[in-house]
């Protein structure tokens, strides 16, 4: 078995490999990353690398990606790594050597970039992935530590008949304009600084996102402003469909019944239909979701404004909410389906934990739409 770093020449092989191997769990799913597997990594950071395991005849057997960026960690700024796209054909011998190789690559990454800690996410119901990463005879080969549970929340409808967005006294929701850019960037960076592994929103990093993310810009943001135009919260609905699409391979009977019932009413409600299994979801992500002090009232106003903007074009509005997150209180006006997930941290070298207990209890600096 040959293990090597992937290049642009491997693009089609990588896309085909992902297409054939769905992530298991209550909602078996896969990501369609065509036409360019590496495009999503470039949105995440400029420093990214993908490793592949292949047979003697060139058949892909496994992939793993590492993306490095600056992040806030333990009161400072340091390089951090995201471990993603960890896929492997079922093979006990290969699994053992592959996990050992991933550990070697994490150690090499630390030497090359200075990154001491990595993080990753796993579908909570994916027993195969949990067994490979945490259980079996090679218990926890990457020395993963559970960080925080969260849910991938897919909003598909509003409860009741009232469609008027919620309003708050002395708070208004506006669409961002170029004049808001500096205040918005400063707000994002300030909130992110209090979140372990949070992205460092420097002027260069923020500009890079606005300039290079497809179908994204300053006008994508919705802002919650107080009477003095201070930013209290923000969210940016983003259609990542040009570089990443979610495909559900199979639906439980309850979800399939829900999809059929919703689709029967969708034309009357002016809503797009929810895609069938095997088709790409017509969804949009709520990115850069930050609310001062995790105030659910401000989030509720932003959520309503986002819903009004996207409901006629997208069947699902996707977001990340953490276990015991105060923002859950704002969801009472919406119907949604949740997929439980878990975040883990891993040391690139040694065995020191990434987070002290008080740090681990904070809201994570995690961007689900870049997974």
Query: Radius of gyration of the chain from Cα atoms?
Result: 21
- Verify that 123 and 177 share a domain, yes or no: no
Cβ neighbours of residue 195 closer than 8 Å, sequence gap 6 or more: 72, 362, 363, 364, 365
Q: Are residues 97 and 170 in the same domain?
A: no
- pTM (two decimals): 0.94
Quickly state the pLDDT bin for 257 (edges 50, 70, 90). Answer: very high
Ramachandran bin of 296, using left for φ above 0, alpha for ψ from -120 to 50, beta for the remaining angles: alpha
Q: Give the torsion sign (CA, 334, 287, 307, 242).
A: negative
Residue 344's φ and ψ, nearest 5 degrees, are: -130, 150
In the chain, the number of structural domains is 2
- The answer to whether residue 37 is domain-embedded is yes
Average pLDDT over residues 121-145: 80
265 within a domain of the structure (yes/no) = no
For 7, list phi and psi in degrees, rounded to 5: -130, 180
Task: Give Cα separations from 367 to 43, 137, 290 (angstroms).
Answer: 11, 32, 11
> Which residue range forms the structural domain that includes residue 353?
154-248+278-370
CATH of the domain at 350: 3.40.630.30
pLDDT tens for each residue of 16-53:
999 988 888 878 899 999 999 999 999 999 999 999 99
181 in the same domain as 70: no
- The predicted pLDDT at position 50 comes to 97
* Tens-place pLDDT, residues 70-121: 999 989 999 999 999 998 887 777 888 888 889 999 999 999 999 999 999 9
Do 139 and 171 sit in the same domain of this protein?
Answer: no
pLDDT digits (tens, 9 = 90+) for 55-67: 888 899 999 999 9
Answer yes or no: do 119 and 191 share one domain. Answer: no
SS3 content of the chain, % helix, strand, coil (to 5): 35, 30, 35
């Amino acid at each position: 078995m040959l293990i090597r770093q992937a290049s642009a020449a491997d693009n089609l092989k990588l896309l085909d490999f992902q297409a054939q191997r769905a992530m298991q769990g209550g909602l078996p799913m896969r990501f369609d990353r065509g036409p360019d597997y590496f495009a999503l990594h470039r949105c995440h950071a400029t420093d990214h690398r993908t490793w592949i395991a292949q047979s003697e005849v060139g058949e892909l057997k496994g992939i793993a990606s590492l993306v490095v960026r600056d992040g806030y960690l333990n009161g400072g700024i340091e390089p951090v790594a995201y471990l993603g796209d960890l896929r492997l054909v079922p093979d006990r011998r290969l699994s053992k050597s592959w996990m050992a190789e991933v550990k070697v690559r994490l150690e090499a990454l630390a030497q090359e970039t200075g990154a001491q800690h990595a993080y990753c996410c796993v579908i909570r119901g994916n027993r195969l992935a949990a067994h490979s990463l945490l259980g079996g005879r090679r218990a926890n080969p990457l020395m993963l530590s559970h960080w925080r549970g969260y849910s991938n929340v897919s909003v598909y409808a509003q409860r009741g008949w009232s469609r008027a967005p919620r309003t708050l006294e002395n708070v208004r929701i506006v669409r961002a304009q170029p004049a808001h850019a500096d205040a918005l960037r400063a707000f994002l960076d300030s909130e992110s600084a209090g979140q372990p592994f949070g992205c460092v929103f420097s002027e260069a990093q923020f500009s890079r996102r606005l300039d290079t993310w497809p179908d994204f810009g300053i006008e994508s943001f919705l802002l919650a402003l107080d009477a003095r135009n201070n930013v209290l919260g923000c969210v940016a609905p983003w259609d990542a469909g040009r570089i990443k699409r979610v495909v559900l391979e199979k639906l439980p009977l309850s979800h399939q019944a829900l999809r059929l019932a919703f689709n029967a009413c969708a034309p009357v409600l002016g809503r797009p239909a929810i895609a069938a299994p095997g088709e790409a979801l017509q969804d949009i992500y709520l990115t850069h979701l930050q609310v001062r002090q995790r105030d659910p009232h401000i989030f509720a106003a932003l959520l309503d404004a986002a819903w009004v903007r996207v409901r006629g074009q997208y069947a699902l509005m996707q977001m990340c909410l953490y276990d015991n997150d105060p923002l859950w209180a704002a969801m009472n006006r919406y119907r949604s389906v949740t997929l439980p997930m878990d975040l883990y941290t891993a040391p690139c070298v040694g065995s020191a934990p990434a987070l002290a207990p008080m740090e681990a209890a904070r809201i994570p600096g995690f961007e689900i739409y870049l997974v």
